[in-house]
Each structure stands twice: as C-alpha cells, then as structure tokens.
A and B are shown apart, each in its own frame.
Chain A
C-alpha cells in the first residue's frame, strides 16, 4: 500500500481534479489515476515532511477566520489605495516576529495565509531562530501584529499540525 501509493490523499485529489477538468469517462479515469500515481511517486522522492493532522475540527475554524480576515484587509487596503500613498493616516513598515510554530507544513500554510491577506507580505523566515520578517502596509503597532498572528493563526495551526 505505502510502496504503491505513497501519498494516497494527494493522489486521490489529483484523480478528482483530472475528472473535474475533463468529462468523466473510463479512459480519463485510467489516465488520471496513472498521472496521480506518478505524481505521488515523484513527491515521495522529494522527501517532504509528512503532514500529520492532529485535529481536523480546527480546520474549518481556521478557514472561517482567514476568509473573514482577508475580507477585512481587502477593504482596508482598498481604502489605503484609494486615499493614495501620501495620505498621513497610514504608514508601512517591517514587523519582526518570533514564531513558536516549527512544523514545515504549518509554516507553509501560514505563509499562504499571510501572503493571501492584502496588507501583509511574508518576506523572510529564519528557521534557526524561528524569526519571521513581515512587511505591513498599514502598520499601527508592532506588538499588535505579534499578538494577532500568535493568537489568531499560530495557535490554531499548532493545534492542527503539531
């Protein structure tokens, strides 16, 4: 099982994607399965750290928080862009954080969340010191950002992955 299908979830999702992109037929099912298996084998050779999901129930909660936060920051960044770059009501800057999350997949998800949120850009992560550098478009105070990321995302991600 593990030799033949090293990444069952990934392969299943790839078959599903193949069938969604094409019309369902036996031929497409076979072709999609071959592609999915081949992708699973090649991923196995990359040796990623295998995600172990501890609490599935936290995932919808995290998704809801993220969708809501992205909506809010869309509105605030749109406001900043409409006001123009010289408006005194906001200033941008770098924020440096210390993360407790060390699990690679969790960090990848956090990077996706912070990149997808307008107004925050993940710039650099130092794995040795778990030190993260962000750039924030509408900066209010650095302490707020540390608390926001720790309480809203990091805690949930640690519940899910660690």
Chain B
C-alpha cells in the first residue's frame, strides 16, 4: 500500500477496477460453491475465479508492478499458465470420481448420471476405465 502514491491516478483507478472485478468474480464463485445444489453444478462455480478472476487480478498486478518498477513485470503470466494447466487435472479427477460413485455404489445420487458406455458395451460389467481389453 505504501507505493500507491507513485502511481498516476488514472492507472491506479484502472488497476483498482481490475482487481475489484477479479476478486468479485472469485467471491461469486465461492458463493456459488455454497449455494448450488449438486456436486456437478458446484464444479462450475470455482471456474469463475479460475478463468477471468485470475486473469483480471494478474493483469492488475502486472500493470501495477510494471509502473512502479518502471520495467515490464511479466512473471505473473507464469501463475496464469500454471493455473490453466493444473486446474483441469483436479476437476477431472473430482468429476470422474463422483461419476463412478454415482454409477456403481448408488450412494447419494446428486443427479441422474448417464451410463458409462452405450449399447455396444452394455453387456460388459462396469469396469474401471483403465481395464481396456488387452
């Protein structure tokens, strides 16, 4: 906060708008996580923070530190890249785990889940995904 007076007012206002918009998206995503009904719906809420929430905060941070240090500061891009390539792994694992739970064990059904395979494989027992025919 001590450096804010070094910024030109226009830039400060723009950066503030970026950061406030980005963190509002993150807040909305977290609220959605609480308010939505089923597990699959809840998967969608955090992506608000993950997509434009992150993007806006990163842009604000890059603009602010580039102006203060008077050189282009771009290493925030790496944060964005890591978010982009790692988040799908968690989401996919969570999604598939809950699909498997809902199909096999018939424990707490959140939503009606489509069957794993279509007519051609209907006779086979529901095998784990990796157990492809050798």
A residues 63-85 near B (Cβ < 8 Å) are 70-71, 74, 77-78, 81-82, 84-85
Residues of A within 8 Å of B, CB-based: how many? 35
Judged by a CB distance under 8 angstroms, whether A148 is at the interface is no
> How many whole Å from A69's CB to the nearest CB in chain B?
10
Judged by a CB distance under 8 angstroms, whether B15 is at the interface is no
A residues 128-152 near B (Cβ < 8 Å) are 128-129, 131, 133, 135, 137
> How many whole Å from B69's CB to the nearest CB in chain A?
12
As a 0/1 sequence over residues 36 to 56 of chain B, the CB contacts with chain A under 8 angstroms (1 = contact) are 111011011101101110000
Contact call B31/A115, Cβ cutoff below 8 A? no
As a 0/1 sequence over residues 107 to 134 of chain B, the CB contacts with chain A under 8 angstroms (1 = contact) are 0000101101110100000000100100
Contact call A118/B48, Cβ cutoff below 8 A? yes
Contact call A133/B99, Cβ cutoff below 8 A? yes
A residues 93-144 near B (Cβ < 8 Å) are 93-94, 96, 111-112, 115-124, 126, 128-129, 131, 133, 135, 137
* A-B CB proximity, top 5 nearest: A115-B88, A81-B32, A118-B47, A123-B95, A137-B44
List chain B positions with a Cβ less than 8 A from chain A. 25, 28-29, 31-32, 35-38, 40-41, 43-45, 47-48, 50-52, 74-75, 77-78, 84-85, 87-88, 91-92, 95-96, 99, 111, 113-114, 116-118, 120, 129, 132
